[in-house]
């Protein structure tokens, strides 16, 4: 260790305040984190790229400082999906400090990792007060049946009004309108369910019909329109 002349000439003064770091809530306990290996948390964070044309939602399950589970969801940019594929290979097995300093290919994913790191090390995780945390695999619960991301895609113009394109229930096939041409419901197809039906042997047309659903006052509609064609 190299000291300046000014420091070398100083007399030693001892500090009485040496209580270590403030404890943070982690999986139902209050922990004084001194090492990366002291970190345990499951949490979510979002990130965005420099041109802000896409975003990433990242879910990490960290045990003893190591990322044991990672869910990478992206939207808005086709290249992000390929970056997410690489990030899903890169993240598990790394410590959160390694992951913070690893190129995760896409700025949005890198930013999400930064935001998660801040949440985790300051004790703001989703499992801060959950005793024992959550098991590996809990990240998939965000996806629900069919293991598809929860997506909402809506479009609207001043001239022609709103169009519902995709809801969390599925791909919107028809919008239900009342006599004032206001939306009162919609019909949809759950693409996750449809794909599962096909995988289990149903032909596509049968799977399409079985995966249909509706929401709202569709039965009261004056007319139904295709949000992509009408």
> For residue range 148-183, what is the model confidence (pLDDT) as tens digits?
888 899 999 999 999 999 999 999 999 999 999 999
Share of the chain above pLDDT 70, in %: 100
Cα 203 from Cα 67, distance rounded (Å): 40
- Mean pLDDT across the chain: 94
Global confidence as pTM: 0.86
Cα 54 from Cα 67, distance rounded (Å): 24
Q: How confident is the model at residue 224 (pLDDT cuts 50, 70, 90)?
A: very high
pLDDT(2) > 90: yes
At a CB cut-off of 8 Å and minimum separation 6, what does 226 contact?
173, 174
Residues pairing with 42 in the sheet: 61
pLDDT for res 57: 95
For 170, the token pair is 């599925």
Cα 73 from Cα 136, distance rounded (Å): 18
Cα 224 from Cα 230, distance rounded (Å): 10
pLDDT digits (tens, 9 = 90+) for 98-154: 999 999 999 999 999 999 999 999 999 999 999 999 999 999 988 877 788 888 999
At a CB cut-off of 8 Å and minimum separation 6, what does 28 contact?
129, 130, 131, 132, 133
């Amino acid at each position: 260790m190299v000291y300046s002349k000014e420091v070398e000439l100083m007399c030693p003064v001892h500090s009485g305040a040496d209580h270590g770091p403030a404890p943070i809530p982690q999986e139902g306990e209050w922990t004084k984190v001194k090492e990366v290996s002291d970190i345990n948390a499951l949490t979510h964070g979002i990130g965005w790229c420099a041109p802000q044309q896409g975003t990433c939602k990242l879910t990490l399950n960290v045990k003893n400082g190591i990322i044991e589970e990672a869910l990478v969801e992206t939207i808005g940019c086709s290249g992000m999906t390929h970056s997410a594929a690489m990030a899903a290979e890169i993240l598990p097995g790394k410590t959160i400090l390694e992951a913070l300093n690893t190129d995760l290919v896409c700025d949005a994913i890198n930013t999400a990792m930064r935001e998660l790191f801040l949440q985790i090390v300051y004790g703001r995780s989703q499992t801060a007060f959950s005793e024992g945390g959550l098991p590996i695999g809990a990240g998939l619960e965000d996806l629900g049946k069919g293991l598809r991301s929860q997506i909402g895609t809506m479009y609207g113009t001043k001239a022609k009004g709103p169009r519902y394109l995709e809801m969390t229930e599925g791909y919107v096939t028809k919008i239900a309108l009342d006599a004032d041409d206001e939306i009162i419901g919609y019909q949809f197809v759950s693409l996750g369910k449809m794909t599962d039906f096909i995988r289990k042997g149903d032909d596509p047309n049968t799977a399409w019909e079985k995966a249909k659903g509706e929401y709202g006052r569709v039965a009261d509609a004056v007319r139904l329109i295709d949000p992509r064609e009408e």
